[in-house]
Structure 1
Amino acid sequence: MIQSMTGFGKHTVELPNKKITIEIKTLNSKNLDLNARMPSQYREKELSLRNKISKSLQRGKVDFSLYAEVTGEETSSAINAVVVKNYMAQLKAIPETGNKDDVELLKMAIRLPDALKTEREEVDEDEFIAIEKGVEAALQEVTRYRLDEGKALEQDFVLRITNIKNILSEIIAIDPQRVEAVKERLRKGIADLKENVDENRFEQELVYYIEKYDITEEKIRLDNHLSYFTESLNSSDSNGKKLGFIGQEIGREVNTIGSKSNYAPMQKLVVEMKDELEKIKEQLLNVL
């Protein structure tokens, strides 16, 4: 079953003094492009989280965000008392201030550089285990989202492939008429020249042109490629690159039929096949 590369997952981890929100958003990309945003205290665990996400998502542009909100009494920021007192002493020593009120001085001092200090916290092991479980839950949501999107893509692919098969059947049906039209065009060309021709030579040339415009092999290969696309679509894994390669082969046979057809009704059908194939190729860019 195919998966889309578009997905979204969100999970919230409730801890005694924190609420951690994890969000994962994915879009289509040829390779894995992972962008991580998280508070500085969790940076030491970033590589571990990246590896977990990479193994699960494989391909796509991935935005991973981790937000931490303090809900308890603990905080990593504290007033740098020594610095604040020093600032206040310096402010008092300036005669021009005129206002010696300690409250006003404190308001000024607290806004000056280094008045607040942030203590680096080590990530608690139990907290990180909870974060890992939250990431796994968010990844499961992303996978469900991708599978749902993949079902919609699969239905569209089945429709487009069926349309191309039906058009191919029409091409097979009108091919004998096309061959007769080529023959008649050659006969008319000879008649317009008003020259006597060697019938044996004419038949030889006719066979040459008929073989040149013969599309039997292309019809067989195209039918095989269409069947192989459907078979790959129904496989247990999701391989967008493989489907892309098969799509290229389908396009090659369709183009060859178009170049050999030399018959307006068939060329019209070829254009319809190209239109369906182009829609398939657009959607294949989003298949995992």
Structure 2
Amino acid sequence: MLQSMTGFGSARLDADQYSISVEIRSLNSKSMDLSVRTPKFLSDKEYEIRNMVQKALVRGKVSISVEFNRNKAQKPRNSINRELLKAYYTELDEVAQNLGASKDELFRLALHMPDVLQQQEQEEETAEADWAVVQPLLQEALQSINTFREDEGKALTAEIMSYIDRIRILLADIEKHDPARMENIRSRIKSHMMELGSSEHFDKNRFEQEMVYYIEKLDIAEEKVRLVNHLHYFTETVYLPEPTGKKLGFISQEIGREINTIGSKANDSTIQHYVVEMKEELEKIKEQINNIL
């Protein structure tokens, strides 16, 4: 069954400590064109995220956004740069001694000098634990967008198959009209043959050879058979389980080639009318195939 490349999927988790949301959007593209926006603590997981998305979505212009918000402030752990504190304290002690100033507040002053107290980012310590929470949400969002794509694909399948059925009907109309077309061609040739037969330069054998060549050139039997086969192959391909968008594009080109040949060989206004309608249906198919995975 066909899948659309257009889709949207999301997943969300609200807990006491944090809230997480994942959103994935996709549009048409000839290949996988992926943009990822995640919190800083997931930067080293981008490669893994890309692999997950590539495997699940295959193709499309995809954007993924992960939002991670902590609901409660957590106290960061501080560490003291002992060497720097000692250096500040020694220098302050020397200055106080030279100036005859009080040394009562020296430790407090040294402790609050730049870079003495160093905060350790909590994200660094809990990144793996947070990723363990984000990962299943990402899988859920991917499943959500694939369900969206499948639903869109069902609608696309019905629409495309209606166009294929219309081409089949028009081909059946051509089949019904073709004997009359060939009879008209033969009648015109016989009429010309009678006119030329009275000429003293008329070569009957050569004329019959050219007539056979002319009729064979206008014969569209092979094109009709190939077109039927292409339509059947197209229908089979639509219902394959794997992505078939590119293959359907190639089959559509073959369908168009047979339709064009029928039009160029027909030499008949009625069949030309059917051919124009078939081309219109084929253009509708090609437009929809651009959105198929």
TM-score, with structure 1 as normaliser: 0.80
Counterpart among 271, 288, 291 of residue 286 in structure 1: 291
Question: Does 1:175 pair with 2:178?
Answer: yes
Shift of 1:248: 0.9
**Structure 1 residues 40 and 252 mapped into 2: Cα distance closer, same or farther (>3 Å)?**
same
Question: Does 1:215 pair with 2:217?
Answer: no
Counterpart contact for 1:41–1:120, Cα < 8 Å: no
Question: Does 1:232 pair with 2:234?
Answer: no
Matches within 5 A, 1:1-288: 1-74=1-74, 119=121, 121-122=123-124, 123-189=126-192, 195-196=198-199, 197-288=202-293
More displaced, 231-240 or 140-149? 231-240
Shift of 1:185: 3.2
Shift of 1:62: 0.3
TM-score, with structure 2 as normaliser: 0.79
RMSD of aligned alpha carbons: 2.2
Shift of 1:121: 2.5
Aligned length: 249
Instruction: Report the 3-state secondary structure (helix = DSSP H, G, I; strand = E; otherwise coil) of the residue aligned with 1:224.
Output: helix
Counterpart contact for 2:256–2:282, Cα < 8 Å: yes
Distance in 1 of aligned mates of 2:8 and 2:73:
32
Distance in 2 of aligned mates of 1:39 and 1:51:
18
Q: Which runs of 5+ in 1 are unaligned?
A: 79-116
Letter aligned with residue 276 of structure 2: V
Instruction: Report the 3-state secondary structure (helix = DSSP H, G, I; strand = E; otherwise coil) of the residue aligned with 1:8.
Output: strand
Counterpart contact for 2:23–2:66, Cα < 8 Å: yes
Alignment-derived partner of residue 81 in structure 2: none
**Structure 1 residues 119 and 125 mapped into 2: Cα distance closer, same or farther (>3 Å)?**
closer
- Max Rg structure: 2
